[in-house]
Amino acid sequence: MTGPRAVILCKSVHHGSTAKVANVMAAALQADLVEPDAFPYTSLERVDLVGFGSGVYFGRMHEALFDWLRGLTDAPADQRAAFVFSTSGLPFLSRVWHGPLVREVSRKGFAVLGEFHCRGHDSWGPLGLFGGIHKRHPDGRDLDRASQFAAGIARRVWHDKAAATCA
Ligand SMILES: Cc1cc2nc3c(=O)[nH]c(=O)nc-3n(C[C@H](O)[C@H](O)[C@H](O)COP(=O)(O)O)c2cc1C
């Protein structure tokens, strides 16, 4: 049995930390992993699930994700399943970092099934003077959690799809 057809749109520009998370999620979902501007809107109809991920930069997830969503006008998301994930220096504020993107994803007609967050190596500004914080993150445990999160989302989408087919 194959899982849902999935794509992960990810922008990871600081240490590639979010890309590491995206990679294990893509493996768990057998998903394509691309930067947002490399995923044409017309391809949306070919997937059941879209993951949106990036690092957090100046209190916000990467603008490329917002740009992609802003351009989504003619291809309705049609309550297509979605999830949001990030890495950041201040993980306890993940709800704050995710908020605007989650709202935009929902506003564009996706059903947001879950959010994932973990620490990422942060050596921005003065932090770089002593090598930064969370140097070893995401670590193996973070990546295991990411993989399990993705597998859980896949099960939910697959279950909903199977139920809709049987109905
Ligand atoms: C320019 C810049 C701004 C950042 N701003 C924040 C921030 O506002 N809040 C936070 O928690 N982390 C912040 N960080 C830390 C990053 O979110 C963190 O290092 C993340 O893991 C980067 O992901 P990436 O390696 O995938 O790009 C910032 C990092 C950079 C380089």
* CATH assignment of the domain containing 33: 3.40.50.360
Evaluate if residue 156 carries a pLDDT over 70: yes
Q: 91 near 54, Cβ under 8 Å?
A: no
pLDDT at 62: 98
Ligand 1 mean position, distance from CA 122 (Å): 6
Ligand 1 — pocket residues by CB below 6 A?
Answer: 12-19, 55-59, 87-90, 120-122, 124
pLDDT > 90: what percent of the chain?
Answer: 80
Report the atom number in ligand 1 closest to the C-alpha of 19. Answer: 26
Residue 52 lies in a domain: yes
Report the atom number in ligand 1 closest to the C-alpha of 93. Answer: 11
| pTM (whole model) above 0.85 | yes
Non-local (6+) Cβ contacts of 72 within 8 A are 41, 44, 108
Residue 1 lies in a domain: no
Ligand 1 mean position, distance from CA 106 (Å): 24
Ligand 1 mean position, distance from CA 158 (Å): 33
Q: State the total domains in the chain.
A: 1
Beta-bridge partner residues of 122: 133
The per-residue pLDDT for range 93-151, each reduced to its tens digit, is: 999 999 999 999 999 999 999 999 999 999 888 877 778 899 999 999 999 999 999 99
Residue 69 lies in a domain: yes
Q: How is residue 164 written in tokens?
A: 């809709």
- Measured in whole angstroms, how far is the alpha carbon of residue 121 from the centre of its chain? 18
Ligand 1 mean position, distance from CA 91 (Å): 10
Report the atom number in ligand 1 closest to the C-alpha of 90. Answer: 11
Domain that includes residue 27, residue range = 6-166
